[in-house]
Amino acid sequence: MTVKQIINLYLKNKLLGRDSVVITSNNIQQEVVDFAKSRFNIFHNPETFAREWRDFKKDNDVYKIEEIELPKKSKQKHYKVYVKV
């Protein structure tokens, strides 16, 4: 299973029963790593998932991913993820 497939399944799981979900860069480096370990017994370092996320959000056929601005300054980037219709 590829890192891209793991991110796709993570997002699918997060979106169950929802129209959209907000994902942070921190989610990718922590929650997706834990998701891969617990669901698939796959171990990669957080930067591997972060690197794939940068490519994934630019080019995928399933999700619309928009960076959102928050009023306060944050080191984390926040993204709103929708399923493309």
Per-residue pLDDT tens digits for 37-65 = 999 999 999 999 999 999 999 888 899 99
> Which has more confidence, 76 or 66?
66
Helix (H) / strand (E) element for 31: namely helix 25-40
The number of distinct structural domains making up the chain is 1
Using one digit for the tens of pLDDT, what is the confidence trace for 19-28? 999 999 899 9
Give the residue numbers spanning the domain of 78: 3-83
pTM score of the predicted model: 0.90
**Strands (E) located in 1-85:** 20-24, 63-68, 78-83
Res. 71: pLDDT tops 90: no
Q: Are 34 and 14 in contact (CB under 8 A)?
A: no
pLDDT averaged over every residue in the chain: 92
Q: How far apart are CA 52 and CA 43, in angstroms?
A: 14
